[in-house]
Amino acid sequence: MMKRIFLLLSCASALVLGACGSDSGLPEASGKASVRAINAVSTSPEIDFSIEERILGQVAYKQSSTTARYDDLEYTFNFDVLYAGETSRTRFARQFIDVEADKDYTLLVGGSLASPTIVVWEGEEASFEESDTVFEARFAHATASQGALDYYFASPGVAPVLGEQVATLAFGEVTVAADLAADDYVLTITMAGDPAAVVYTSNTTSFPARTAYIITSFDGDASDNGPIFVRAINALGAAISMPDAGFPPSVEFVNASMDLGTSDIYDDEPLTSLRVANHAYLDLSTELSVTNGANTFYYTPAADTSVVTLETTQSTLGGLRYRIVASGVAGSLITTNVIPDRVPVETHAKLLAFHASNNFEFLDVYVVDAGESIDEALPRRAALNAGLPAPTTRLATGSYDMYVTEFAEKVVLAGPYRLDVTVGDIVDTVIVDTVDPAVLDVLFLSGGPTP
């Protein structure tokens, strides 16, 4: 038997939780255990995960909290979210666990915020010797849209064969831990009992030795091109992303520069592979499939390959949806590569703002109740920097007016734009110049203003 040495990170600040004096009459700890949470609620914002009332972390969809270690006592684990318009967080789920020493607990929260489910996966804490050449793998099914699935985990080029699957799982199930040789692997997921009915295939992925992973399938969200997305989550909460190899990344283009002019966009230096034609000012292109890794794009005047006016390189990861925004003035044209927040959630509407003006370095964005003046209001987003997206603004269901001003000024440069939103809406905007340098406009890429 292999002697194993514990490697998981300890959460030292948690040692006091549940600790009691020897004469208190309360239970005393005899050891410690590990705990983490995985968020499988596709319509949730980041979830606050707590042990009793001590926050262990915020967990976004398809992600895990960092593993923490606690005494082997009884705890209630809590899950909270903040709804737009509310001043305090709402507790939507909780789970009691009588913790045993040397165990590893993972709380998978699924369903919806209105009707949550919690599944507790219990295993042994992973540990390794420095000479070990294996990693520990558990396979989990958190793909709510799918029924029972077969999981095949093999060397690249090995096709699925019935009977050779590492697991057959239903939603919420996880395998026991297995030690596997550190190497390159491909994960293939099929409908249960039918190796020809492939629903997901990963790219070749390297798994290093002396690390424990929960290799978990999720439903893809609006930021993904594939219907299933897999993450191999380690004890620190970090993950290897494993998008479906059959769904490459995509890129769309926004022309937010008046000086760029109507352009053609190529993806090869000889300018023979035309990807976008006649890309005019304020145009949003269709999404284009691109390869994983570095993709270089060349802008030329429309129907003129004699000169390249702008060149940009976008590094992409499989299955994700990207956007390239061109801005700037002649002689100083730039592009900004972003991954827009496209995912609707149950707790609020989203307002996204990208500052692409050349005439103002910093801008403020006001969002006030419909008909209300901004004179006494504070900006919802202050000091937006040119060429950068702003953090997402969360809005409750309602009717609002959106204004844009210069930073720390109340003189309106653009607006008002009437926004009638409900929870789950996404209003995606780019702040742009007009022919009047003292006036701005807002380009609405989704969720446009009410006439």
pLDDT tens digits along 400-447: 999 999 999 999 999 999 999 999 999 999 999 999 999 999 999 999
Residue 149 pLDDT grade (very low, low, confident, very high; cuts 50, 70, 90): very high
Q: Residue 451: helix, strand or coil by DSSP?
A: coil
- Give the distance from CA 123 to its chain's centroid: 27
Using alpha carbons, list the distances in angstroms from residue 23 to 19, 20, 27, 73, 75: 12, 8, 10, 17, 21
Helix H or strand E segment including 130: none
Q: Give the closest residue to 228 by CA, choosing from 12, 433, 447, 42.
A: 42
Instruction: Say which residues have a Cβ less than 8 Å from residue 376's Cβ, sequence separation at least 6.
Output: none
Cα separation, 310 vs 179, whole angstroms: 50
Cα torsion through 218, 220, 221, 224, rounded to 10: 140
Residues counted in the chain: 451
**Is the distance from CB of 395 to CB of 437 less than 8 angstroms?**
no
Q: Based on the number of CB atoms within 10 Å of its own CB, is 318 exposed (0-12), middle (13-18) or buried (19 or more)?
A: buried
Beta strands in 286-437 (DSSP E): 288-289, 293-301, 310-316, 321-329, 332-338, 349-355, 362-369, 381-385, 393-395, 398-406, 412-421, 426-433
Check pLDDT > 60 for residue 22: no
- Give the distance from CA 80 to its chain's centroid: 19
Residue 26 pLDDT grade (very low, low, confident, very high; cuts 50, 70, 90): low
- Mean per-residue pLDDT of the chain: 93
Cα separation, 112 vs 186, whole angstroms: 31
- Give the distance from CA 393 to its chain's centroid: 16
Beta strands in 238-306 (DSSP E): 239-243, 250-255, 263-266, 274-279, 288-289, 293-301
Cα dihedral sign, 385-391-396-397: positive
Residue 317 pLDDT grade (very low, low, confident, very high; cuts 50, 70, 90): confident
Q: pTM for the full model?
A: 0.89
Looking at this protein, which amino acid is placed at residue 62?
K
Beta strands in 61-182 (DSSP E): 68-71, 74-81, 90-98, 103-111, 116-124, 127-128, 134-142, 149-154, 167-169, 178-181
Q: Based on the number of CB atoms within 10 Å of its own CB, is 341 exposed (0-12), middle (13-18) or buried (19 or more)?
A: middle
Question: What's the N-to-C CA distance of the chain in angstroms?
Answer: 72
**For the segment 75-129, what is each residue's pLDDT rounded down to a tens digit?**
999 999 999 999 999 999 999 999 999 999 999 999 999 999 999 999 999 999 9
Residue ranges and CATH numbers for the domains of the chain are 5-243 (no CATH), 250-338 (2.60.40), 349-446 (2.60.40)
